[in-house]
Amino acid sequence: MYFCNMNLKPYKFRPVLKTVIWGGEQIVAFKGIDTDLHGVGESWELSGIDGMESVVDGGEDDGLTLTQLIDRHGAALLGGQVYQLCGNRFPLLVKLIDAHRDLSVQVHPNDEMAMRMHGCLGKSEMWYVIDHEPDAHIQVGFKQAITPEDYDRHLANGTIMDVVANHESHRGQVFFLPAGCIHSIGAGNMVVEVQQASDVTYRVFDYNRLDKDGLPRQLHTSQAREALNYSSYDECIGQSGATINDGDVLVACNHFVVERHEVAGTTRLDMPESFLVMICVKGELEMVDENGSVTTMRQGETILVPACLSWLDIRGNATLLTAHL
């Protein structure tokens, strides 16, 4: 356990809103914020990515970027092992995604390929479906194992979607997407995404759409061919919302652990041996830490809890996702 400055308490950040051609209006409403932006497809809730970095909202560290916050507090914020491993690079990226239209079909490289080609880490990620429109679907994995030659042929024939598995959306559905897994979020879904801190994406297919300048959107056919895992991905489809209990681990991999918590009344949440990201997907709550600091949280907010805290007493009625290393 590390010495915790009495002023070190859970942090809120200003969301970074990103407008895209497939974005909608649900994120703004879900978060209850005022903005003139339309077509917001992503809210980067917690990010250390250059150009899209989170900024502290309130308190003594107000205005610091996430990297500057880590520079100031180090292991007390991230946890000793995480700080040794990552330095001032925050290891996760947390987003809200509103797919008003279909996202492109894509794949992410693993760490080895990403480091070799881009000098950064690869991307494994998970999705948690917050809400969806009737008949919404999510595409994850191949229906059955194919070969790189099959991939080439289906791309040439325009039939790649014939071999990608199509899953009906359910609230609370969990999808785990290790690097190499082909995937797309279909129209009408709003999800939480927790991923490695990487922004490398290879676009496989984009439904022949044009960009804002009227040009075909760029594809990354050869890079995707190398990055893809051609196996079937049935194992990536996790629990449905109806079968998830309080405190259940949704995803546990080498890059992150994500759990769901149902708060109804008062409960104590013990901290892991690292920072803790809390994402409120429903309701509202109040938390009190061991130093007596009180933090409120409502639907659509994301909070970073310093590793030096031991526990949080939480009261309210809410559904929380938590993520840590």
Residues recognised as catalytic? 203
Residues found in the chain:
325
Question: Do 23 and 100 contact (CB within 8 A), yes or no?
Answer: yes
CA 283 to chain centre: 20
Q: What is the DSSP string of 67-128?
A: HHHHHHHTHHHH-HHHHHHHTTS--EEEEEEEESSPPPEEE---HHHHHHHHSS----EEEE
**CB contact at 8 A, 41 and 28:** no
Strand 276-289 with 294-298, pairing: antiparallel
Q: Strands 55-56, 183-185: parallel, antiparallel or unpaired by DSSP?
A: unpaired
CA dihedral 276, 280, 285, 291 (to 10 degrees): 20
The one-letter code for the residue type at 33 is I
Cα–Cα distance between 260 and 70 in angstroms, integer? 26
